[in-house]
Structure 1
């Protein structure tokens, strides 16, 4: 299953479909904006095998210069993405796709601290079964408490995420 209706928060069990969907999307992105990309990463919970997640594929695109993100808008819109600008989330160009939303792109300049945190957190969960299990339980609890408030859901995960990043 892929797609999260606006305003809802629910989790579904990890699926190999997410990895396949990411790979397909990555190929299309590179075909259309390849000269601007340094790397394309699968991030977020759908990138961690065995972890339940909101059914949205999160993609991080690394670019050399932040301004290059503006040069990618038309091509990404051609792939079905909507450009939401640089004010939605810090230090990134943000795009989303679908209604219900199926994909999100976070476009960062190389070496951006938020990108590095995303990658480090993902990798830690991939390699640490205990932390992955704890995060799973927290997410399940928060999704049942805040099924109609994505901001509260996200905010209440912050302390756990920070505690992991401090260990790295």
Structure 2
């Protein structure tokens, strides 16, 4: 999502400007525990509908500074069939926030501390098809950063620099990292 119009079109509910600075914290050794507890809750809520659950994003990379939001990748048979999984996710505190039918049928649900959750989560939901290419990219990026100190340090430096700027929407911060992500990802995919 590059333009404000695309961000608005994909957002469920009110789109409010990001009113606080992006906070990038030093690595927190509690993040894997938060993920494990989140994974267990997802498995209990979804059962066999959850084909795959992975800890992704910067909080999944030991030693990497990150926004204190756990990113989880959830793969289910058909993201477009929201009635089969959204109610179960809402029952455990998630809210559908982004619907992108033209981008691998991606859905993003959130849980936020400011709404009573013990920690914040971005839950990215894909189906194996058409989402397989993006699933592969997400996991390749994570796995590369876990094993390549130079790129992990480089990525952290860029994130910290960008966090010093003011962003109208947090998606703008994510977009600003895109060139660096693609550069690192190209090495990971060639790897």
- Which TM bucket (shorter chain)? 0.7 to 0.9
Gapped regions of structure 2 (runs ≥ 5)? 1-16
Q: Deviations over 1:71-130 (max 9, x none)?
A: 111111111100125239932121001253711110111152222111110000001000
In the alignment, is the contact (CA less than 8 A) between 1:36 and 1:68 conserved in 2? no
Confirm whether residue 97 of structure 1 aligns to residue 117 of structure 2: no
Shift of 1:149: 4.5
**Residues 1:75 and 2:81 are matched in the alignment:** no
Q: How far, CA to CA, are the matches of 1:98 and 1:153 in structure 2?
A: 19
2:160 — aligned with what? 140
The answer to whether residue 39 in structure 2 is matched with residue 26 in structure 1 is yes
TM-score with structure 1 setting the length: 0.88
State the partner residue of 2:58.
45
Residues 1:159 and 2:179 are matched in the alignment: yes
* 2:73 counterpart of 1:55: no
CA contact (8 A) 1:88 1:94 kept: no
Matched residue pairs, number? 163
The alignment's TM-score, normalised by the length of structure 2, stands at: 0.78
Question: Aligned-pair RMSD on alpha carbons?
Answer: 2.0
Aligned partners of 2:114 and 2:51: how far apart in 1? Answer: 29
Whole-angstrom distance in 1 between the partners of 2:123 and 2:102: 11
